[in-house]
Amino acid sequence: MSHDNIDLAEILRKRGYRMTPQRQMVLDAVCESGGHVAPERIYEAVNEKSEAVNRATVYRILKFLREIQLVTATASPDGHLLYEIASGEPHHHLLCRKCGADLELPNEHFSRLWQQLFSEFGFRVEEMHVTFQGLCADCQGGRASRR
Amino acid sequence: MSHDNIDLAEILRKRGYRMTPQRQMVLDAVCESGGHVAPERIYEAVNEKSEAVNRATVYRILKFLREIQLVTATASPDGHLLYEIASGEPHHHLLCRKCGADLELPNEHFSRLWQQLFSEFGFRVEEMHVTFQGLCADCQGGRASRR
DNA sequence: ATGGATGCAAAAGTTTTGCAAAGAA
DNA sequence: TTCTTTGCAAAACTTTTGCATCCAT
Q: What is residue B92's predicted lDDT score, i.e. its pLDDT? A: 80
B103 DSSP β-pair partners: B94
- B136 in contact with A at a CB cutoff of 8 Å? yes
Write b or e for each residue in B112-138: b if 16 or more Cβ atoms lie within 10 A of its Cβ, otherwise e: ebbeebeeebebbbebbbbbbbbbbee
Task: State whether residue A15 sits within 8 Å of chain B by CB.
Answer: yes
- pLDDT greater at residue A37 or residue A109: A37
Q: Which residues from chain A sit within 8 angstroms of residue B123, using beta carbons?
A: 94, 96, 103, 132, 134-137
pLDDT of the residue at A6: 55
Q: What is the pLDDT of residue B137?
A: 85
Residue A2 has pLDDT above 50, yes or no: no
% of chain A surpassing 70 pLDDT: 90
> How many Å from the CA of A18 to C1' of C4?
8
Q: How much is the pLDDT for B2?
A: 45
* A27-68 residue pLDDT tens: 999 999 887 899 999 999 999 887 789 999 999 999 999 999
Torsion over CA of B4, B10, B16 and B21, rounded to 10 degrees? 70
Q: Is A146 exposed, middle or buried (0-12, 13-18, 19+ CB in 10 A)?
A: exposed
Average pLDDT over residues A123-133: 80
Which letter does DSSP use for residue B89 in this model? Answer: P
pLDDT tens, A60-75? 999 999 999 999 998 8
* CA/C1' separation A19–D8 (Å): 49
Closest residue, chain B, to A101 (C-alpha): B123
- Judge whether residue A139 has pLDDT over 90: no
Q: Measured between alpha carbons, how far is B32 from B146 in angstroms, rounded to an integer? A: 41
Q: How far is A116 from chain B (nearest CA, A)?
A: 9
Taking the C-alpha atoms of residue A6 and residue B54, their distance in angstroms, rounded to an integer, is 54
Instruction: Give A6 to chain B, closest Cα distance, Å.
Output: 21
* A83 or A4: which leads in pLDDT: A83
Give the bases of strand D that a protein CB approaches within 7 Å. Answer: 4-10, 14-18, 23-25
Chain A residue with CA closest to B69: the answer is A145
Q: Is the pLDDT of residue A145 over 60?
A: no
| pLDDT given for residue A63 in this prediction | 96
Q: Is the pLDDT of residue A4 over 70?
A: no
Amino acid A38 CA to nucleotide D22 C1' distance, rounded Å? 28
| Low-confidence residues in chain B, pLDDT < 50 | 1-2, 4, 142-147
Provide the pLDDT for residue B8. Answer: 84
pLDDT, position A56: 97
Give pTM, 2 decimals: 0.85
Q: Supply the pLDDT for residue B5.
A: 53
CA distances from A127 to A29, A69, B122 (A): 20, 10, 26
For residues B116 and B76, is the Cβ–Cβ distance under 8 A? no
Question: Between the ranges A93-107, A114-128, B1-15, where is the mean pLDDT highest?
Answer: A114-128
Q: Give the nucleotide nearest to A64 (CA→C1').
A: C5
**CA B106 to chain centroid:** 15
Preferred mutation among B67, B76, B132 to probe A, highest tally of A CBs within 10 A: B132
- pLDDT value for B145: 36
By C1' distance from the Cα of B17, the closest nucleotide is D4
Kindly give, in sequence order, each residue whose CB lies less than 8 Å from that of residue B118, ignoring residues fewer than 6 positions away: B124, B125
CB contact under 8 A, A147 and B16: yes
Q: Which pLDDT value is given to residue A1?
A: 47
Residues 6+ positions from A106 with CB-CB distance below 8 Å: A91
Residue B18 contacts strand C, CB under 7 A: yes
